[in-house]
Copies of this chain bind each other. A is one copy, B any other.
């Protein structure tokens, strides 16, 4: 029960293997009649090109690597799925590689994946895409790579991102429009560039609106739920508390929500809370969270498109290889008018 090979197809179609190869790969210079015959035989025989033979002779692997810092995160799942599906469409395959920067052999890991599997390209996510050592290894391996939401250095590689600064401004303005003046902010992991951008957007919107930023309302987290528990308690545990909390991601917003419940503070009546990311838990939380939807899957898909583009290798600095994807402000139940504002209007 041997697999059918290109020779079998060629013989049956009455052409040379080379012609079958041309048809399979959609190359030019094949007479339409011939193409049709070949295609019909391919279907009849249920022929599938042997990817190993193809890779061996063409020295392309049709494999793309997705390097992830924390493969268990919701962020990783979304990115992975987006990349996976787009690879499918482009007849590529995705290799997911967790990279633990805390482990001693991580450099070897990346290198052996790239060289061992002969990856045709790599997608780097935060915070890996911002680590100069990672960039160096990938560059040394000589394969094209795309960074998702990188910090600075636009000339290093193509990049896909969203305007976090603008999104944070939009979110802050949403709170301001609801009458909030005293807004607490919980920052994310300082390792991630997005933490700073979100914070800057918040600050910019506050000052633009003529509202000051109270330093005692600025808290540091690391994007994990646990990290925001303390900050939320400090923010809410005093009489002089903010009327709204802008957490830099949904997990931390959830921590604020839990803390509010613990203190018996009604959300959104007495306190508005908003997050960032639109994690699944933001939807199912009670009350559901107002947040920013980041187009994670789309960003991954766009990365695949770049890597597969034959021009990418030579002109990674072209502007079409630096894409800004649209975000979305999703208003749900966790934000409402600032306390007292109902009366003002009534």
Binding site for B on A (CB under 8 A): 48, 50-53, 55-56, 61, 71-74, 76-78, 80-81, 84-85, 93-96, 98, 112, 115-118, 224-226, 229, 251, 255, 258-259, 261-262, 280-281, 284-286
Contacts and interface: CB of A to CB of B under 8 A. Distances in A.
Contact of A48 (B115, B226, B281): B115
A188 to B, nearest CB: 16
Contacts of A117: 51, 93
Contacts of A72: 74, 77-78, 81, 280
B225 A284 contact: yes
Nearest to A73: B77
B81 A98 contact: yes
A74 B251 CA distance: 15
Given A76-B77, A84-B96, 4 more contacts: A48-B116, A71-B81, A71-B84, A229-B286
A118 B52 contact: yes
A313 B226 CA distance: 46
A41 to B, nearest CB: 18
Contacts of A81: 71-72, 98
A284 B84 contact: no
A58 to B, nearest CB: 10
A301 to B, nearest CB: 14
Nearest to A58: B52
Given A84-B98, A118-B52, A226 B284 contact: yes
- Which one of A96, A112, A262 has the highest number of Cβ atoms from chain B below 10 Å of its Cβ? A96
Nearest to A60: B52
Nearest to A255: B284
A91 B303 CA distance: 27
A90 to B, nearest CB: 14
Contacts of A112: 48
26 contacts: A48-B112, A50-B56, A51-B116, A51-B118, A52-B53, A52-B56, A52-B61, A52-B118, A53-B56, A56-B56, A71-B80, A72-B74, A72-B77, A77-B77, A80-B96, A81-B98, A84-B98, A93-B117, A94-B96, A95-B95, A96-B96, A226-B284, A229-B286, A251-B284, A258-B285, A258-B286
Contacts of A261: 261, 286
Lowest 6 CB-CB distances: which A-B pairs, in order?
Answer: A52-B55, A225-B284, A52-B56, A72-B77, A52-B52, A258-B286
Contacts of A284: 224-226, 251, 255
